Structure formats: C-alpha cells, structure tokens
Amino acid sequence: MSARLPSSAPAGRYDLKKGFAGTTVLVTGGGGLIGSRIVSRLRQLGSRPIALCTLDAYPAEVYRNIFGMQEGPELVLGDVTDAPLMRRLVSDCDYVIHAAALADVAACTRTPGAAITANILGTQSVLSAAAASERLRRLTFVSSASVYGNGAEPASADSRAHKAALESVFDRLPVRFREDAGPLDPVSVYANTKAWGEAQTRVLLGDVGTSYSVVRYFSVYGEPQVVKQNSHSWVVAWFSSRAALGLPLHLHGGGHQIRDLVHVADITEATLRSLIAPDAHNATVNVGTGVHTSIREVADLVLSHFPGVRLMETPMPPGDPLGGYACTRRMEQVLGWRPTITIAEGVDRYVRWLQQTPAALPDWLRTADRAS
C-alpha cells in the first residue's frame, strides 16, 4: 500500500466560487453523509442549496446531531419518486446532483424491490424532470465503482471455476478500473441499479441536449460516517467503531478484497467540480485516489490506534466484490484536480473524530457479539 497519493493534477481552468455564486443547486439525498457535506460546501461557495431527503436511512438524532441537518427552507422532506415534486424543484434550479439512492449493498440484496423503487424509479423521476427543465445547466448522476464488478471475465459457467479465476487474477495484481476499459460487470443488485442509472442518464439527457456528468465513486469514508445495522459497507467506520468498543474486526474472506478509499471531503470537491468543469460535459469519470488498499491493510491501520483488538475471519457476504482501484487519468484531465487525503491520514482523522463523538457509536453496536 502506498503511503502517498500520486502527484497533483494541473490547476483547473475554472473557479468554483465564481461558478456557483448566485446559483441554486438541488442535491437529492442532501441529508445524508455525502449530501450534507455537499450542501455545506455549496453555502460556502455562495450558492443556494436545496437538500431533498426522506431522512429515513438513519435515526433522527444522526441527521440532527451527527450530520448537522436543520429544518429550514434549504431542507425539503420528500422522495425522488414523487414526480410532481421533482418537476417543481428541478424547474427552479441551475444544477442538480442526484445522489439519493438506497446505497447499502446488503440492503439492496435483501430487498431488491426497494432498490428498484429508490434507484431506478426515483432516478427516472429525477431525469424526466431534468429533461423537461429549460433552466438546468447540468445534472451530475452519482454512480459507483461497483458497476465494474470484479474486473474479470468469467472463466466458464461454473461458479467454482469463475471464483477460482477471479482469485487467481487478484493473486497476480490488483485490478485498475478504467472508464473505457470495456463492458460493465455489476455483481450486486445495487451495482445493477447504478449501471442502469448511468445508461438512462445518457439516453434521456443526451436525447434532449441537457448537459450531464456521471461520477463513479470508489469507497467513500470519513467523518461523520456512522455504521448501519445489518450492513457490511463503509469498512473504515465499521472497523473503527468496533475497535473503539473492543469488539473483534471481521475480515470477510480474509480481507483480501481491494478498495480505493476516498475521503468524503475529496468526494465532495470532485462532485462539485463535475457540475461546472467545462470538460465534464457528458463525461463519465472515476472519483478515486489511484491507490489500492486491501481490507486487511485498513484493519491494520485501525488496529494501530487500538492495540489489543483482535481479528476474526468471516465468510464473504453476497454481492461483495473483490474490487480494485481507480485509474484517475480522466478525472485529472476533466476536473483538473485530484484527491488530497491519504488513507492513513483519513483513518487517523476518523478515529480522532470518533473518540470525540461518542454519539456516533450506536447503542445496538455497544452490545453486539460480545461473546465472539
């Protein structure tokens, strides 16, 4: 694992503050981890953000005390599947960031109907409103690196042969995902919905000439992220939260999966740049660091802050890809920017935040598998 990020990209050919000053930006999913950070940053840039959210993915105290969401004209309580609401909101906006989704891989696997409703019907509603708007300058669709799947073609129809082939690939070299490397290979319900959303964005908005961009987030982490029950996403938050309570860290499949971990502050910056960068027009870009880190390496970084916590090997959950890391060349060219926070720095920041924010440790986790 590299301790440093690659050298910085050249300075962007646009100015964020100038680009957003006086604009109105709709952020769907604006009450969540990423959305709330984007809304806060938009305020700093002189924009008027509108945060649309159902506020039902976390307990109310998380939105209020952890994410800092407050009632007011900026917050609209609603659902992206409400087509009349979407038409009304989008018609009054200069930009839209469509981040609302059932973004939990495990939850999508357990309840595919809910994933289809939120991630497909909801996306269709947003895109239809965007296509009908005469004011909209650009929409950014938030996608995921999960659309790449395992980055390897099946060896045969036999699942055991396929698994062995994938493992042999990852024994040789971590896979680097390029936006133009070939057909997507989603391996989960969540990834399937994101691949569909990308295609539908190109079809609907491309047909009417509305500018769009697609950002493929790699593994997002960082304060104020909090864990969800019955989920296996957000490894830094999971490992840190369990370690803080003295619970063993679960290494699914031994922790050999590869991730490109991107701090939420960098995710925020990239997403905003994708709205106004001239070269982001109708572009699809990875948002990653270009550094590959195994889940075991993440565990080791967390354990350096919590000596004495042990590791446990556990089975791989359904839909959990072996993963890979981002090719960042297009991101650097299109956005004129690259992330700045390394995984070691980000884990240190998250652990310190967690130690200062005991409310981020949910009660259900405090009593979890004490006997394990």
Burial 297-307 (b: 16+ CB within 10 A, else e): bbbbbbbebbe
φ/ψ of residue 98, rounded to 5: -95, 95
CATH code for the domain defined by 16-366? 3.40.50.720
Residue 95 pLDDT grade (very low, low, confident, very high; cuts 50, 70, 90)? very high
**How crowded is residue 111: how many other Cβ atoms within 10 Å of its Cβ?**
15
Q: How far is CA 293 from the centre of its chain?
A: 17
Residue 85 pLDDT greater than 60, yes or no: yes
- Model confidence at 241, pLDDT cuts 50, 70, 90, reads very high
Average pLDDT of the segment spanning 309-320 = 88
Cis peptide before 174 (omega within 30 of 0): no
**Looking at the predicted structure, is the pLDDT value of residue 172 above 70?**
no
Tell me the CA end-to-end span of the chain in Å, nearest whole number: 30
Q: Which residue has the tokens 């003295």?
A: 246
- At residue 339, the pLDDT reads 97
The arithmetic mean of pLDDT across residues 250-257, rounded, is 90
If you average pLDDT over every residue of the chain, what do you get?
Answer: 90
Q: pLDDT digits over 282-309, tens only?
A: 999 999 999 999 999 999 999 999 999 9
**Mean local confidence (pLDDT), 181-210:** 96
Name every residue whose Cβ is closer than 8 Å to that of residue 30 and which is 6 or more positions away in sequence.
Answer: 36, 38, 39, 49, 50, 51, 52, 53, 75, 99
Beta-sheet strands, E only, within the chain: 24-28, 48-53, 75-77, 95-98, 138-144, 176-177, 212-217, 219-221, 249-252, 258-259, 261-263, 283-287, 293-294, 311-314, 325-326
State mean pLDDT over 152-180.
Answer: 59
Interval 261-270 mean pLDDT: 98
Q: Greater confidence, 106 or 128?
A: 128
- What pLDDT was estimated at residue 6? 55
Q: Using 50, 70 and 90 to split pLDDT, how confident is the model at 169?
A: very low
pLDDT at 68: 82
pTM: 0.90
**pLDDT-based confidence at 158, cuts 50/70/90?**
very low
| pLDDT tier for residue 369 given thresholds of 50, 70 and 90 | low
Q: What residue ranges do the domains of the chain occupy?
A: 16-366
With cut-offs at 50, 70 and 90, classify the pLDDT of residue 1: very low
**139 has a pLDDT exceeding 50:** yes
pLDDT-above-90 percentage for the chain: 74
d(CA 332, CA 334): 6
pLDDT of residue 108: 94
